[in-house]
Structure 1
Amino acid sequence: MSLRNKLPALRLMFGPLIAGLAGIALSGGVCIQATAFANDGPASVARSVLAATSGQPDFTIDPPAPAAGAATVDAARFGVSENNSGEENEAAFRRALDQCRQTGAARLTVPRGRYRIGRFVPGKGSRQASGGIIELRDFKDFTFDAQGAQFVFESRRDFFVIDTCERVLVTGFTMDWNRDLEPPQSHGIITRVDPAGNFIEVEFPDDQPVGPEMTFYEIIELDPVTLDVRHTTGKPILGVASMDLSKTEQVSPGVLRFYHDAKRHGPGWLGRQAYAPGQHYLFMRLRYESHGIVLRNVVHGTLSDITIHGTRGHGIVGAEGSHHYRIRRVRMLRAPDRAFGFSSAADGIHIGGSSGWLKIEDCELAQNGDDCVNVHDNFPSGVRRSPDRPDTLVHETAPQWRYRFDPGDLVELRNADLSPAGFSSRVVGVDYKRGGGFSLTLADPLPSGLVQGDRGFVLFNRRFDSGHYRIRNNVFRDNRGRGLLIRTHSGTIEGNRFVRNFYPGMHVSAGYGSYGEGFGPENIIIRDNHFENTHSAEWKEHGDAPGDLAIHVEAQAGIEPARLCRNIVVENNRFVNSRPPEISVSAAENILVRGNRFARPARAGRRDPSPGVVVTHSANVVEQDNITEPVPASAAPAPATIP
């Protein structure tokens, strides 16, 4: 029997004894503590955590402050028109913005209307050019006010790029991608499963353009009524790596036959995956190809009152150099006349490699293709000493676009378990290899006694710091990933609603994962949030199911990670019909979990024995005054709307 299955019995038999010996607080859920508290008990630890944890107090985002008499420019004067082609409107916006930049205008306005923007170039390439279709570059004290206009983008570039700007406001429009040119997703219904288990046949209704050349990243089950993402049958997400798309056949108009990769999985594999006629699936055809709004080197910028109905990648990206920026009253959701699909092909808001100081407030992020919000910084693993030079680090495959280094950057070596290796230095030279990999020359030689280990080092670039954030009063719902993925420090997360997230509502984590994300979440307050019917997927990490609010470190197989999660307060949150345990804590220290409520469907004749809080590989974790409360088994989910 697993430890988790033994917990209820252990609690009844030994709870008081364990609590007395190890200083463990047992209430509402179960807190398992690997080590005794280092001081006089849980109350003292709770006081220490509260004293060390401020979260992120409020800070100011400066609005535009244009010079007295600065002009307002009407985009229509430069040819922006509802009657134009996308290519004509792209050129007209460029002329209007050039005029604003050259004259120091305070504001560009766009008349209400529906505008096609950008020139579509057919072909198989995911991007047709770099840069943005609309670009705000080198602006200061400027407002882009679209006054309720609708933008339908038609070029494969990023839709709206804001680069090297200070005190700018972008507001007042709806944006979408022209799906008739290239659908980001397609809706398919299984009509036949090969009795031998080697293929499935899928019908694509709604006059979607499909053919045997169709490719996709993965397919995921849909609710047959709402056509939102669901995972009700335990079937896995089917990724393209499991398929042999070279064998795809057109059975009839609108019907394709897909084969799995028999070399990888052997014969009959698809037949063992529980696929059946009548099941609805979303085929994810685009994911990271280009993004909705990209902020790069933006200081004191605001995105406000914007609706996003569709992108070819992330909805909003906060990238290198941006700091003190705000995203408020932004909505991402499918267009009302669209029966299926995502509002963003990947994350709703993706923050990485920025300089932090971010506010996300009063937003509704729904039907995103991955996490609603992801805040992180990247690191490469498998970094090694150069065999030839004591002052050089090398990596054989790391791509430059993901791991960026420049002379002057302060880098810190970490061991494979993410613990400090005790060495930092400045970069003095960078050599990126064609096709992947790099060589970094450092100002200081690596100490001869520094042990590399079989898995090499992890390398943190301290130039990047996406910490300092306030995420308040938002709704995160009906998406394919997590509601929030938080992998950095100094944050206040309060008053949000998490509803029907496919994976856990919130991950506060660091570690390897798929990309190497997060230097360590610490000094975070998580309070007054509401989680309901989230974590629908049977998802496990390292053999254990994370909680609906999971605090943990992702490590490589066979390694117990360092405790990077520290000084975190989780208080006064409510979990309704979540998958127990509602809260999980791993590879953490100095954590206070108090005053949370776990509302579970009532079970006739017995109390649900599952713990509300599970803690492993951690120290100084205190649980206080959490309670489990029954709710009617038939209780309908509360509506997910902006407070």
Structure 2
Amino acid sequence: MLRELGECLLFSCFGIMAAGCCQTESDVPMPPADAVVVSGFGDSKNISFDRRFASFDSSTGVLRVDSLKSAHMFQPIVRSLNLKPNTNYTLSFNYRVENPNMKEHFFHILVRTGANEDILWENEGESAQFKRLEYKFTTPPGGKLYSVQIHARGKFVGELSDFKLVEGFGENLYIAAPEARKFCGDLGKIPSGAEDFEVLPPAPSSEKIVNAADFGISEDCENFVAKMNAAIAKCREIGASKLVLNKGIYKVANDGEINFSDLKDFIFDGSGSTLVYRKNYGGNFNITNCRRMVFKNLKMDWDWENDPIASLVEVVKIERNGDSYFDAKFLDYENFPNKNSRIAILTGYDMKNSHINAPGLFTRVLELTKGKGITRREWVAPNVLRVYYSKNDLAPFEIGQHFIFAHYYYDMHGFFLRSNEHLSLENVEILSCAGHAFAVAGTQKYWQLKNVKIGIPKGSKARYLSCAGDHLHIAYSAGYFKMLSCDFSGGNDDCLNAHDCSIYAQPVPGEKGKSNVLRTLSKRNVSEFYAGDEIELRNDDYSPTGFVSKIVSVKWPSDGSGMCDIASEKDIPKPSGNGFVLFNRRYGTKNIIIRDCNFHDTKARAILMLGSDVTIERCRFANLAGMAVKIETGYTFNSWCEGYGADNIVLRDCVFENACMRSSKSGRNCKDIIISSYCKTDPSREKAKFPILTNILFENNTFKNVKGLLAEIHSADNVIFRGNEIYPLAQTDASAGLKEIFLIGNSKNIKIVNNNIVSRNSSSEYAVCAEDKSTRGIVFAGNRIVEP
């Protein structure tokens, strides 16, 4: 701030800007100019309803729906007029359902053609009280006629009111300008990021060195895992300070893990060795409950020659009638070596550029988990596999297409790290593994990765993945993590996914309306909640309840439902919605420092950061299928529930290039950065109204080839983008007109200042779109359009 004011005074002294060189207030936005299409169920010219199952009360504006006598599972109730093509719309209305039960009945909301082609498809029916819903959608160009429809699924009674359909998204527009003056006003609280900390090295009381060779370990030995575990057990027994593996290439063909557990002040030195795995189950290394330990100088690989983790195939035949299928030829093999390999996921491949990230390529999930969802297949030649697939699923397939078949997914992790303290992994290289490269859980804290590389080895043939899952997956931790000078690429999922897992649960009714028991809707994540843990309850919009209590017991009902009962010391309050999100304060993925790292050429996202007190600086994000950074928190009813909010995050001096590469669309369909929430499903149109994501700063970064939005922001408070250089992708910058670079909703105090948009087209306009009704405190100033 003082430096900026000093620049103003300097310029004024030389008479360069007599009227003042900076501004202290936000630019004034262009307000929405939306046109009302339908207003209320009484608007009979523009909306109709089936009077057999619905009745309208003009005095209250309520449409009462009764599908109890319908003979159909899905009964159409409401239909609007036909909508214009290539037009933005906002739909909103209130609904309620008597005796809610989403498994049995709900309102089914659609934007549909007469041929049942949908661009919006949502189910709502959990609320017994009137609840406001809002949906935004854009009709496609062309001649197809869409209408808004509301169906009743199942037999129930419910009500709808205050129906509105409006052209436009109800957004204020803030426009960047070449002549924009620098902003030097007050930005309020500036996020500081993580505090520095030290990962302590081993401090052994004596030097006792064990060599693995003394336990029968050699490059051609059998039972490598058992012999290594015997060497580790000896280290634990005598309090050794170091275990040395002589340099070599070791084949590991044994199931089960190499277990480093309960070691203190200890070093494992792999001496630059390479371990080549081929196994059926169990991770490669398990490091648990160690204190002041260093693991270093090791390479990890997989036996691709006999059991490829992934393969390149070409579609050589398609049968769309009868017993439909496609034939896939394995291009790198005359005779594919493992005929029992499954197809977990298939991903489109660009042969011209030898890359999985190109527009128009698609992914399909087949047998994601081994033994579940098996697709029938048979070998019709030594290197040709016939995959039986439904006619509808075959629609996008064509002869000549190329795919990567991933034969493993989250199967056998490279390293499983649990509840260690002061752990350092240094100079480790993972060439390939059949699961996550690193998986983390428990109360792991004060740990680091230094000079860790994950990637397909250069010059290798018939290698298409490094790790079969995430490069680094933190499911739980107690924080204090450093990642320094690391290089992650080639994986089948995200580079870094850092979070803690939550649970969605509902109170179990007790005597006199009181209860101390919460019942989960699924068994997911329950295994990491223990008696004695302190939990915090959040409402289902993430607003605080003020309730904190210890768990008394965790019990599984005998009804086989898979749900779980969690009892607390205190009586459970009444939720403001339908249930609670449980945060377990045993965990806290926070105080994270990521410096000088390279995240690139991966099939998914670079970083999912669901933690707090984070600094990410001098990193590179390049050639990504999805977004570069996603900061979020969310819950679902039957799948993952991740994050306890995010706060105090700083990203600075980073370079972002070529995110969202697999999308063939631009505009709002592509985002380099997402700061958002999800509720009930992931993804979800519904966002948390409470700002669960706070105090986030992006500064002095360079964003190259921005395909659509630079950032989409929801459920946030005090997010600052300042001093960044933004380069729109050449083809999206080629035409004149308005281009959206930020989208903001359900947020406050979002500040976008002093950024440069480097544009090749002087006729282009670049805008921030902020929802008029759900945002406040937007500051947009000093954002300039400059020439390259």
TM > 0.5 between the two?
A: yes
Give SS of 2:719's match.
strand
Match of 2:741 among 596, 608, 612: 612
Deviation at 1:103, TM superposition (A): 1.7
Residue of structure 2 in register with 1:193 after alignment: 318
- Following the alignment from structure 1 to structure 2, what is the Cα–Cα distance between the partners of residues 612 and 507? 16
Whether 2:566 is the aligned partner of 1:429: answer no
**Residues 601 and 630 in structure 1, CA contact (< 8 A), matched pair in contact too:** no
Is 2:687 the counterpart of 1:560? yes
Aligned length, in residue pairs:
576
Structure 1 contact 217–240 (Cα < 8 Å) conserved: yes
Displacement of 1:540 in angstroms is: 10
1:595 equivalent in alignment to 2:723: yes
Task: Judge conservation of contact 1:45–1:590 (CA < 8 Å) in 2.
Answer: no
1:624-643 alignment runs, 5 A limit: 624-630=753-759
- Structure 1 residue 285 displacement after superposition: 2.2
Matched, 1:573 2:701: yes
Aligned Cα RMSD in Å? 3.0
SS in 2 for 1:610: strand
Q: For residue 477 of structure 1, what is the aligned residue in structure 2?
A: 600
Structure 2: distance between partners of 1:76 and 1:355: 36
Residue 459 of structure 1 aligns to which amino acid in structure 2? L
| Aligned equivalents of 2:286, 2:348: Cα separation in 1 | 33
Once residues 530 and 425 of structure 1 are traced to their aligned partners in structure 2, the CA distance between those partners, rounded to angstroms, is: 44
Aligned-pair distance for 1:257? Answer: 2.1
Shift of the 540–550 alpha-carbon distance from structure 1 to 2, 3 Å rule, reads farther
**1:288 Cα deviation from its structure 2 partner:** 1.3
Distance change >3 Å, CA 241–CA 368, structure 1 → 2: closer
Which position in structure 2 is the counterpart of 1:77? 214
Which of 140-149 and 602-611 deviates more? Answer: 602-611
**Which protein, 1 or 2, shows the higher relative CO under an 8 Å CA cutoff with sep ≥ 6?**
1
Does the CA-based 8 Å contact 2:306-2:337 persist in structure 1?
no
Number of the residue aligned with 2:566:
440
Larger Rg belongs to: 2
Map residues 182-261 of structure 1 onto 2, 5 A cutoff: 182-196=307-321, 198-205=324-331, 206=333, 207-209=335-337, 211=339, 214-225=341-352, 227-240=354-367, 245-261=374-390
Match of 2:473 among 350, 354, 378: 350
Partners of 1:366 and 1:477 within 8 A in 2: yes
Q: What's the secondary structure of 1:559's corresponding residue? A: coil
* C-alpha separation in 1, matches of 2:424 and 2:760: 41
SS at match of 2:429: strand
CA pair 280-310 structure 1, distance change in 2 beyond 3 A:
same
In the TM superposition, what are the counterparts of 1:452-491 in structure 2 within 5 Å?
453-454=577-578, 456-491=579-614
Cross-structure match for 2:486: 363
Q: What amino acid does structure 1 have at the position aligned with 2:740?
A: P
- Structure-2 separation of matches of 1:411 and 1:249: 51
Give yes or no for contact 1:546–1:584 (8 Å, CA) kept in 2: no
CA contact (8 A) 2:367 2:375 kept: no
Deviation at residue 566 of structure 1 after TM alignment: 0.7
Between the aligned partners of 1:631 and 1:345, the Cα distance in structure 2 is 40
1:291 is matched with 413
Q: 1:142 and 2:153 equivalent?
A: no
Does the residue aligned with 2:270 lie in a helix, a strand or coil? strand
CA drift of 1:628 comes to 1.4
Mark the CA change 1:237 to 1:510 in structure 2 (over 3 Å): closer, same or farther: same
State the SS of the aligned residue for 2:284: strand
Q: Which residue of 1 aligns with 2:243?
A: 108
Aligned amino acid, residue 231 of structure 2: A
1:446 alignment partner AA: I
**In 2, distance between residues paired with 1:147 and 1:159?**
18
Please, which runs of 5 or more residues in structure 1 have no aligned partner? 1-14, 30-41, 121-128, 262-267, 633-643
- Change in CA separation of 1:546 and 1:420 when aligned onto 2, cut-off 3 Å: farther
Report SS of the residue matched to 2:234.
helix
The more displaced of 243-252 and 338-347 is 243-252
Q: How does 1:10-409 map to 2 (within 5 A)?
A: 17-18=28-29, 27=176, 46=187, 48-50=188-190, 53-67=191-205, 69-85=206-222, 87=223, 89-120=224-255, 132=257, 134-155=258-279, 156-180=281-305, 182-196=307-321, 198-205=324-331, 206=333, 207-209=335-337, 211=339, 214-225=341-352, 227-240=354-367, 245-261=374-390, 268-273=391-396, 275-336=397-458, 337-387=460-510, 390-399=515-524, 403-409=527-533
Report how far residue 158 of structure 1 moved.
1.1
CA apart distance, 1:384: 3.5
Q: Any conservation in 2 of the 1:391–1:441 contact (CA below 8 Å)?
A: yes
Output the CA distance in 2 between the equivalents of 1:301 and 1:539: 43
Q: In the superposition, relative to structure 1, how do residues 28 and 103 fare at CA in structure 2: closer, same or farther (>3 Å)?
A: farther
Paired residues of 1:298 and 1:323 also in contact (CA < 8 A): yes
Paired with 1:549 and 1:591, the residues of 2 have a C-alpha distance of: 12
User: Which runs of structure 1 show a deviation greater than 6 angstroms over 4 or more consecutive aligned residues?
Assistant: 19-25, 241-244
Match of 1:502 in 2: 625
Query: Is 2:672 aligned against 1:548?
Result: yes
Measured after TM superposition, the shift of residue 597 of structure 1 is: 1.1
Cα distance in structure 2, aligned partners of 1:501 and 1:58: 30
Higher alpha-carbon deviation: 185-194 or 528-537: 185-194
Q: Which runs of 5 or more structure 2 residues have no equivalent in the other structure? A: 1-25, 33-170, 762-788
Q: In structure 1, how many angstroms separate the alpha carbons of the residues matched to 2:473 and 2:726?
A: 30
Q: For 2:422 and 2:695, locate their aligned partners in 1 and report how far apart those are by CA, in whole Å.
A: 28
Q: Which residue identity is paired with 1:100?
A: C
Compare 165-174 and 228-237 and name the one that shifted more. Answer: 228-237
In structure 1, the residue corresponding to 2:218 is in which secondary structure? coil
Alpha-carbon distance in 1 for matches of 2:393, 2:686: 33
Q: Give how far 1:387 is off.
A: 4.9
Letter in 1 for 2:325: F
C-alpha displacement at 1:302, in angstroms?
0.1
DSSP-derived class of the 1:18 partner: coil
Deviates more, 1:478-487 or 1:337-346: 337-346
Q: Cα distance 1:113–1:292, how it changes in 2: closer, same or farther (>3 A)?
A: same
Aligned partner (choices 649, 658, 678) of residue 524 of structure 1 = 649
Aligned partner letter, 1:411: I
The answer (yes or no) to whether the contact 1:28–1:612 under 8 Å persists in 2 is no
Structure 1 215/443 Cα, relative in aligned 2: closer, same or farther at 3 Å? same
Instruction: Give the match's secondary structure for 1:278.
Output: coil
Other structure's SS at 2:451 match: strand
CA distance in 1, matches of 2:760, 2:204: 55
Instruction: Flag the 1:463–1:631 CA change in 2: closer, same or farther, 3 A.
Output: farther
Match of 1:637 in 2: none
Residue 43 of structure 1 deviates from its aligned partner by 6.3
- AA matched with 1:113: G
What is the deviation of 1:585?
A: 1.4
Over 3 Å counting, the alpha-carbon distance change for 1:408 and 1:502 in structure 2 is same
- Cα distance in 1 for partners of 2:414, 2:747 equals 40
Kindly indicate which of the two structures has a greater share of residues assigned to helix. Answer: 1
Corresponding residue for 2:94?
Answer: none
Q: Which has the larger strand fraction?
A: 2
1:575 CA displacement: 1.0
Instruction: Quote the Cα distance in structure 2 between the aligned partners of 1:387 and 1:357.
Output: 41
